[in-house]
Amino acid sequence: MTRPAHNGGSGRVLVVEDDEGIREMLKYNLSTAGFSVQEASDGASGLRTARTSRPDLILLDLMLPGMSGFDFCRALRKSSRVPIIMITAKDAEVDKIVGLELGADDYITKPFSIREVLARVNAVLRRAQPEANEPKSIPEQDSIGTFSIDRAARRVMLKGEEIKVTAREFDLLSYLLAVPNRVHTRDVLLENVWGREFNGDRKTVDVHIRWLREKFQARAPFEIVTVRGIGYRLDRQPTLVEALTVGEGISTTRHEA
């Protein structure tokens, strides 16, 4: 689905929040800012709405009756990559990390200001655009052996199978593959993948790196290496054909910068 450009308030937002006062406040301010807003007061009805109406973004309270926000996120991520911003009364780090690991793109802790909500909504929507933050020099397609990434179609293939990744995972993997064999600090990754507007927890980089590793570690011909105390580096591993052309026979040594 092609989403509209987000340089300001536009698009469809689903608010899943059981507190009627907060829900109405969000609906009013988002509508005033130019968004089309749908609402749900519990996780089950919110999940049905998300699946049928396909919003551009979801504002999701974690403490919902019946189905928690965690369960909502887990269920929706099986079929949809729609951006999700968690809203939680808890500021415990573990809740934020669990939410991010389940597929949320950002979080807001209560109490919050409507200006913060609008800023985060617009920032997440901009980052979800197909060509957001991609320099012109990055090719539309790239491949290493049985692995390929199509940046135009936003598809990742491995051994003939499409690997499902979230929008943020795709952007992070795309950036690391485009600039391999170089160490990137968390701040550099945040600026180039999340955008300069991002002011959330820097640990989101570690969470998304861990998620990519779970999907590709020991399966794809590259390795995301932790450079202790600095950041991360993606090493492209040569395929058999590439190794033979080096002139040293078959080698599994990674190319280094």
Residue 92 confidence (pLDDT): 65
Q: Which of 61, 12, 57 is nearest to 37 (CA)?
A: 12
Helix, coil or strand: residue 173: helix
Helix, coil or strand: residue 232: strand
Helix, coil or strand: residue 15: strand
pLDDT value at 70 more than 70: yes
Q: How many residues does the chain have?
A: 257
Residue 135 confidence (pLDDT): 44
Residue 251 confidence (pLDDT): 36
Domain-embedded: residue 153: yes
* Greater model confidence, 21 or 11: 21
Quote the mean pLDDT of the chain: 82
pLDDT value at 255 more than 70: no
> What is the band of 91 on the pLDDT scale with cuts at 50, 70, 90?
low
Domain-embedded: residue 254: no
Report the CATH number at residue 109. 3.40.50.2300
CA–CA dist 69, 63 (Å, integer): 6
156 and 117 share one domain: no
Domain of 204 in residue numbering reads as 141-245
The type of residue at 109 is T
Q: How many domains does the chain have?
A: 2
Domain-embedded: residue 135: no
87 and 23 share one domain: yes
Q: Which of 9, 24, 22, 69 is nearest to 42 (CA)?
A: 69
pLDDT tens digit sequence for 12-31: 999 999 999 999 999 999 99
Domain-embedded: residue 34: yes
Report the CATH number at residue 190. 1.10.10.10
Q: Which of 51, 45, 57, 44 is nearest to 14 (CA)?
A: 57
Q: Which of 253, 256, 4 is nearest to 126 (CA)?
A: 4
The winner for highest mean pLDDT among 46-50, 52-56, 180-184 is 46-50
pLDDT tens digit sequence for 103-144: 888 889 888 999 999 998 988 887 766 443 344 457 788 899
